[in-house]
A and B are shown apart, each in its own frame.
Chain A
Amino acid sequence: EPEVTQTPSHQVTQMGQEVILRCVPISNHLYFYWYRQILGQKVEFLVSFYNNEISEKSEIFDDQFSVERPDGSNFTLKIRSTKLEDSAMYFCASSEFGQVYEQYFGPGTRLTVT
């Protein structure tokens, strides 16, 4: 069964560094999403992406964040100048055109900022 994959599974970085989290969505999906979950808190929407541009973004998704689909398979989340409070689990998801309510999630990348 096709699945969303994410790399790395765990990323440790120092405060102020840039990180890129990578996702490979399901191949025929056209909508892509990033969420995050700070430990012990709720899963929060960050951004959705369709047709090579951002469709929606939350208040969390400020200028520190950017997304890109650099090729036909990868979908990345870049966090510039990481802060301690960026430590969280980051989930990528994708959905099929016409089935946007059914999002398929990856296993997540745990980001630890020290």
Chain B
Amino acid sequence: GNSVTQMEGPVTLSEEAFLTINCTYTATGYPSLFWYVQYPGEGLQLLLKATKADDKGSNKGFEATYRKETTSFHLEKGSVQVSDSAVYFCAPDGGSYIPTFGRGTSLIVHP
């Protein structure tokens, strides 16, 4: 089955810093790729998605590009805010659009 590897957290940044959270996956074929975010005390939310190679998903200033050659889907944001503090999950589609989640990466942004 599909699997995902995310960088270990927590990632700690100052406000307005540049964010990269690395994600690589193993999969059969070319699955859709998702990033989910979980804010404190809330459920997971779909942040962005890409459904085919070279697609760029974007939302709320976050971006990720589907890189087939490197089987990666790194999450980036140019200038993080304190409100971006959350746990971020990279997830390839495990089939029938059911995400295959990893452990998530905790992001802590300081003022």
User: In the complex the two chains form, is A43's CB within 8 Å of B41's CB?
Assistant: no
Known: A40-B103, A41-B103, A43-B104. A100 touches B97 (CB 8 A): yes
Known: A41-B103, A42-B103. A100 touches B96 (CB 8 A): yes
Over the window 70-111 of chain B, the binary record of Cβ atoms lying under 8 Å from chain A Cβ atoms (1 yes, 0 no) is 000000000000000000010001111111111110000000
A contacts with B: majority SS: strand
Interface presence of B26 (CB below 8 A):
no
Contacts of B102 in A (CB 8 A): 42
Known: A42-B102, A43-B89, A43-B104. A105 touches B43 (CB 8 A): yes
User: In the complex the two chains form, is B103's CB within 8 Å of A48's CB?
Assistant: no
The CA of A70 and the CA of B14, in the complex, are separated in Å by 48
Number of contact residues on B: which range applies? 20 to 34
User: In the complex the two chains form, is A105's CB within 8 Å of B45's CB?
Assistant: yes
Determine how close the nearest CB of chain A comes to the CB of B26; give it in whole angstroms: 14
User: In the complex the two chains form, is B43's CB within 8 Å of A108's CB?
Assistant: yes
User: In the complex the two chains form, is B49's CB within 8 Å of A101's CB?
Assistant: yes
Interface presence of B17 (CB below 8 A):
no
Who on chain A is nearest to B91 by CB? A43
Over the window 4-48 of chain B, the binary record of Cβ atoms lying under 8 Å from chain A Cβ atoms (1 yes, 0 no) is 000000000000000000000000000010101000011111100
Interface presence of A33 (CB below 8 A):
yes
Who on chain A is nearest to B38 by CB? A105
Contacts of B100 in A (CB 8 A): 45
Determine how close the nearest CB of chain B comes to the CB of A50; give it in whole angstroms: 10
User: In the complex the two chains form, is B42's CB within 8 Å of A33's CB?
Assistant: no
Given A43-B44, A102-B49, A105-B43: 19 more A-B contacts, CB < 8 Å: A4-B43, A35-B101, A45-B99, A45-B100, A48-B96, A56-B95, A93-B44, A100-B96, A100-B97, A101-B34, A101-B46, A101-B49, A103-B46, A103-B97, A104-B45, A105-B36, A106-B43, A107-B41, A108-B43
Which B residues are within 8 Å of any A CB, using their own CB?
32, 34, 36, 41-46, 49, 89, 93-104
Which A residues are within 8 Å of any B CB, using their own CB?
4, 33, 35, 40-45, 48, 55-56, 91, 93, 95, 100-108
